[in-house]
Amino acid sequence: MLQREIKAYLTEKDVTIVDPGYDCLSFIKKINPNFEIRSVPPQPGFIPSFQKIRNIRISGFTLEDISRIGTERLWELHDGIIKGDFAPSTNPMNPTLLDLKIELAKREIEHCLLCGWKCGVDRSKQTGRCGLMDEAFYNSLYIHVAEEPVITPSTVIKLSGCALRCIFCQANEAFNIDKDKRLDSGVWKELDADPNFSKAITLQFVGGNPDESVYSILECLKAAPDSLRRPIVWNNNGYGTETLYKLLEGAVDVWLTDFKYGNDECARKLSGIENYVEVAKAGIKQIVSQDAKAIIRILLLPGHLNCCHQKVLEWLSNYRQQIWISIIDNYIPDWKAVNHPEINRMVSDEEISQAKELLKKYGLRDISESSKDFWEKNE
């Protein structure tokens, strides 16, 4: 079994375990004997999208050709294949759509515009705003047992690095990069050694934030075993750009995306970022245009129902038939939040109740209550 540190909080109401996995299941059962893993898996025979694009071969090109073609032309080729404008090749010597995405991702980090900062740094030579260069590193590997039922249990690859600096971040260890934990093909052997790996129904990339590590993640997926038949879940902070979402189109099965703030002032104050709302909205538009499932997470912050969550939910109602909402109501002040009185408290029962009423008001689907049809094919 993979080993990791467990973080837990003792509050006036209960004990909250951050990212519980099989490694702490016996402890959970002692606290709550009635605890059960809620799971709504995809249908038997499910083929993840990344396996499909590993088998879409590009006629008339070699890998060497792909490396020499100009970036603009590569994007034209990529977008044409995504749209179905080109007939795939059956020649096993031709490069795949995944190969093409890897080449594009490699070039993008040489002038990085993957997150809303658009810092333009050549990450093959220096560190970007995310704290990363061209390699990716993970903080931990484990099997999460208490997320949304449609992705639980989930094999979690928790990556280092993030472009945000949320003062309440519960994953702040992701800012400390352990270079002994490089994300490469060896991760599959390590995961396979965990006896609980076979119990997971999804494979989830999270952080920190996975967006900035997209190049290494695509390379890692290229090396994944053919037998891996689990949906890929991309759990990100909602600050990705159009480039990021295009690179992942056809590779991701479930978008699990945060929408943290309803105004830029709160985003600046609590996460140290600019232009958040515009970037987040553009990202949602990209997500719903793709043939993948979309769950939008709303982390309830104390005192932010009116200034943030209501505005976000009202806007998301424009896509009520294309998305599911996940209300995260277990906020606990962590990291630097303890020094900020306005968010140094739990979310009240009234705030939680009001948020759920807003879901109903705007006709949005709550993933915790309407997950039975989640894995049905998109129309």
- The model carries a pTM of 0.96
Beta strand 232-236 pairing with 202-206: parallel
pLDDT at site 379: 43
pLDDT at site 15: 85
Terminal C-alpha separation, the chain: 40
Domains of the chain and any CATH numbers: 7-44+118-361 (3.20.20.70), 49-110 (no CATH)
> Along the 379 residues of the chain, how does pLDDT read in single tens digits?
456 777 888 877 788 888 999 988 998 999 899 999 999 999 999 999 999 999 999 999 999 999 999 999 999 999 999 999 988 999 999 999 999 999 999 999 999 999 999 999 999 999 999 999 999 999 999 999 999 999 999 999 999 999 999 999 998 888 889 999 999 999 999 999 999 999 999 999 999 999 999 999 999 999 999 999 999 999 999 999 999 999 999 999 999 999 999 999 999 999 999 999 999 999 999 999 999 999 999 999 999 999 999 999 999 999 999 999 999 999 999 899 999 999 999 999 999 999 999 999 999 999 999 888 899 875 4
pLDDT at site 378: 58
